[in-house]
């Protein structure tokens, strides 16, 4: 259970009723409706054990989110409807038929007319109202997001009708995710119908600082509608996205009542204070004759620091990518640098040291301290490490091919990438790419070299944040009396790819603090070159960095998926044409 310690003697002011609701913050697997139904059934039982009257699940809880083009497959649509009906029956057979359940799932319109531009099959993002062993009613998501990582206008038909139900005399208006972010629709329907509760089912992906935005939004919408607001969110990783949970309840005045932890699965049971304003629902359900006893004292989870939050997202994103895709272990190149050290620490925290394999692949240009640092992180974390010197392979290539300059430098990265993939094929490990967002932005990732792999844990982490996360992780270990996982030398030494003698990143790139600020402004915030210069960046640096970013799009398309943590990650968030002749001038024409 999440944040639901029991205490007796709690009383509400006159005219306020206690309505016991369970918020099921679960981690489904996209497409695995059987396993997801089992997960939902277990959560219903947990809610029933604490006498909940209503249990609310996240958006598309039965199917997982996002389901992308699965939503357009008629066979998937039909199986989803069958699975929901079967789940309703199982809930009753388990002895919980009197509990009202709001469960997100994929459904379709029976009388859908196929039109050009309309999603195939009439798929809808729906909420099933389950009671007494059957789906008693269905709500269809009203507002469909079509920005950032969302493509819902491609997949779903929008709903047009409200669904307001009555549970033990409490009027509940139902909404789904984007319905809360847009004006009109369910928020307005809740106000007009004098609903006591606005129940919102969500699949809201994590990004930095979004938890504060969510709370502010819920508080504002509760005050606008005059209803207590229940916000239930998914938890867990799905490809590039990670969902952080952070489910919460606010009262009709917008004050926080309860909040679940981030990145943890479980059921939070809350006594929601409701005013019972006399609203009328289209369906009435009776679960019990009086309020459950004893009263619950609501809990508010301690909010994570920025570094803890990001690190948690990266850990969950990697863990679920590995687990949900059936990999048993991961492998990565350990250079002794900060990027591979942080990825190794995340992997060990996500999977355990026995499932993480590192390879030190020194070349003729590798320094002794880099080799020592690679072994140091293995000793600190307990991960498996082996040495594979690449100098003989490098020399063999050069004896057959006349390579020099950049081609010779990149050859080292490609030998390392090929070696990791060979070990992966032989032993079954998932290869982790260790590049960061700063490198990926400017194209400092070698195709078929350090860009190889099945997953890139820090793909959306700027270099400056890599350092901050590494320092934070070591500080946490020291505070717990444990060995800091990341070698101090990996943090303190100047960054270098060691592709030639005495090479440093600063030879060809601006200082990372400046570079990351420029990348954030241009990529995340879409500032124009002219605006960047006006903001104080030097014209020559703007021209050079933006040219690097624009020309590297073809490289980014070939990079592995990785966990999104920023407002705009490369991939699902930012989709630009590879063949692109647009170059915005810095000076007015």
Q: Can you give the pLDDT at residue 314? A: 98
Output the six-digit token pair for 412.
Answer: 């080292």
Q: Can you give the pLDDT at residue 12? A: 53
- Is pLDDT at 250 greater than 60 in this prediction? yes
The answer to whether 177 is a known catalytic residue is yes
Interhelix angle 463-479/512-519, rounded to 10 degrees, is 110
The answer to whether 4 is a known catalytic residue is no
Which phi and psi angles does 256 have, rounded to 5°? Answer: -65, 130
pLDDT band at 481 (very low <50, low <70, confident <90, very high): very high
- Is pLDDT at 574 greater than 90 in this prediction? no
Q: Can you give the pLDDT at residue 588? A: 60
Task: Note the pLDDT tens digit of each residue in 126-169.
Answer: 999 999 999 999 999 999 988 888 888 888 999 999 999 999 99
Give the DSSP letter string of 136-174: EEEEE-S----STT--HHHH-PPP-S--EEEETTEEEEE
Which phi and psi angles does 346 have, rounded to 5°? Answer: -60, -45
Average pLDDT over residues 297-315: 92
Output the six-digit token pair for 377.
Answer: 């992180």
Q: Can you give the pLDDT at residue 421? A: 95
Average pLDDT over residues 436-463: 93
Average pLDDT over residues 344-367: 91
Strands of the sheet containing 54-56, edge to edge, are 134-140, 123-131, 100-108, 54-56, 17-25, 266-274
Average pLDDT over residues 572-576: 84
Q: Can you give the pLDDT at residue 485? A: 96
- Is pLDDT at 504 greater than 80 in this prediction? no
Catalytic, out of 141, 437, 459, 568: 141
pLDDT band at 499 (very low <50, low <70, confident <90, very high): low
- Is pLDDT at 9 greater than 50 in this prediction? no
- Is pLDDT at 287 greater than 90 in this prediction? no
- Is pLDDT at 501 greater than 70 in this prediction? no
pLDDT band at 506 (very low <50, low <70, confident <90, very high): low
Q: Can you give the pLDDT at residue 8? A: 28
In the DSSP assignment, the letter for residue 14 is T
- Is pLDDT at 102 greater than 70 in this prediction? yes
Catalytic, out of 4, 101, 173, 177: 177
Catalytic, out of 59, 152, 178, 520: 59
Q: Using omega within 30 degrees of 0 as the cis cutoff, is the peptide bond preceding 294 cis?
A: yes
Report if pTM > 0.85. Answer: yes
Instruction: Give the domains, in start order, of the chain with CATH numbers.
Output: 18-299 (3.60.110.10), 307-502 (3.40.50.620)
pLDDT band at 313 (very low <50, low <70, confident <90, very high): very high
Q: Can you give the pLDDT at residue 289? A: 63
User: Between the ranges 9-13, 300-304, 348-352, where is the mean pLDDT highest?
Assistant: 348-352
Helix and strand numbers, DSSP H then E, in the chain: 18, 19
Q: Can you give the pLDDT at residue 5? A: 37
The answer to whether 59 is a known catalytic residue is yes
The overall average pLDDT reported for the chain is: 90
Distance CA 38, CA 24 (A): 13
Task: Note the pLDDT tens digit of each residue in 222-241.
Answer: 999 999 999 999 999 999 99
pLDDT band at 404 (very low <50, low <70, confident <90, very high): confident
Given a contact cutoff of 8 angstroms between Cβ atoms, the answer to whether 520 and 415 are in contact is: no
* Among the ranges given (52-66, 399-413, 430-444, 553-567), the one the predictor scored with the smallest mean pLDDT: 399-413
User: Between the ranges 54-63, 144-153, 404-413, 482-491, where is the mean pLDDT highest?
Assistant: 54-63
Q: Can you give the pLDDT at residue 28? A: 97
pLDDT band at 7 (very low <50, low <70, confident <90, very high): very low
Q: Can you give the pLDDT at residue 496? A: 59
pLDDT band at 318 (very low <50, low <70, confident <90, very high): very high
Q: Can you give the pLDDT at residue 4? A: 43
């Amino acid at each position: 259970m999440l944040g639901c310690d029991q205490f007796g003697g709690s009383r509400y002011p006159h005219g306020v009723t206690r309505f016991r609701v369970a918020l099921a913050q679960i981690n489904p697997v996209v497409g695995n409706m059987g396993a997801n139904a089992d997960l939902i059934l277990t959560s219903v039982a947990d809610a029933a054990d604490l006498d909940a009257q209503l249990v609310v699940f996240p958006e598309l809880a039965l199917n997982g989110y996002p389901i992308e083009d699965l939503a357009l497959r008629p066979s998937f649509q039909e199986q989803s409807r069958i699975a929901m009906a079967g789940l309703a029956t199982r809930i009753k057979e388990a002895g919980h038929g009197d509990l009202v359940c709001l469960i997100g799932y994929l459904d379709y319109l029976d009388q859908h007319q196929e039109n050009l531009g309309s999603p195939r099959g009439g798929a809808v993002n729906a909420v099933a109202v389950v009671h007494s062993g059957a789906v008693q009613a269905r709500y269809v998501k009203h507002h469909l997001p079509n920005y950032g990582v969302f493509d819902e206008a491609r997949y779903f038909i929008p709903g047009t009708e409200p669904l307001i139900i009555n549970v033990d005399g409490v009027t509940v208006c139902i909404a789904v995710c984007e319905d809360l972010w847009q004006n009109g629709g369910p928020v307005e329907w809740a106000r007009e119908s004098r609903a006591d509760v606005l129940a919102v089912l969500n699949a809201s992906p994590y990004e930095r600082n979004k938890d504060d935005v969510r709370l502010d939004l819920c508080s504002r919408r509760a005050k606008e509608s005059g209803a207590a607001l229940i916000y239930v969110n998914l938890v867990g990783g799905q490809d590039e996205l990670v969902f952080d949970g952070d489910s919460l309840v606010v009262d009709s005045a917008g004050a926080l009542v309860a909040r679940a932890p981030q990145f943890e699965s479980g059921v939070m049971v809350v006594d929601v204070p409701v005013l019972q304003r006399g609203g009328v629902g289209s369906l009435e359900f009776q679960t019990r004759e009086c309020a459950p006893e004893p009263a619950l004292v609501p809990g508010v989870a301690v909010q994570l620091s920025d570094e803890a939050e990001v690190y948690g997202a990266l850990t969950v994103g990697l863990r679920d990518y590995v687990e949900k895709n059936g990999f048993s272990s991961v492998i990565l190149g350990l250079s002794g640098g900060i990027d591979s050290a942080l990825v190794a620490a995340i992997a060990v925290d996500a999977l355990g040291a026995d499932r993480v394999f590192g390879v030190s692949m020194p070349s003729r240009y590798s320094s002794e301290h880099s080799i020592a640092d690679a072994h140091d992180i293995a000793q600190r974390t307990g991960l498996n490490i082996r040495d594979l010197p690449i100098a003989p392979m490098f020399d063999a290539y050069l004896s057959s091919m006349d390579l020099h300059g950049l081609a010779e430098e990149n050859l080292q990265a490609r030998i390392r990438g090929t070696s990791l993939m060979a070990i992966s094929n032989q032993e079954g490990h998932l290869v982790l790419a260790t590049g960061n967002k700063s490198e990926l932005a400017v194209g400092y990732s070698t195709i078929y070299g350090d860009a190889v792999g099945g997953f890139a844990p820090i793909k959306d982490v700027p270099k400056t944040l890599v350092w901050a996360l590494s320092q934070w992780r070591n500080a946490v270990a020291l505070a717990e009396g444990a060995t800091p996982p990341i070698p101090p030398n990996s943090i303190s030494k100047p960054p270098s790819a060691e592709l030639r003698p005495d090479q440093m990143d600063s030879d060809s790139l601006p200082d990372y603090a400046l570079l990351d600020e420029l990348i954030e402004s241009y990529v995340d915030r879409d500032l124009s070159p002219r605006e960047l210069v006006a903001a104080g960046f030097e014209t020559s640096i703007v021209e050079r960095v933006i040219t690097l970013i624009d020309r590297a799009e073809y490289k980014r398309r070939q990079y592995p998926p990785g966990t999104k943590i920023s407002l705009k990650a490369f991939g699902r968030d930012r989709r630009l044409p590879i063949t692109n002749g647009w170059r915005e001038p810095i000076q007015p024409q």
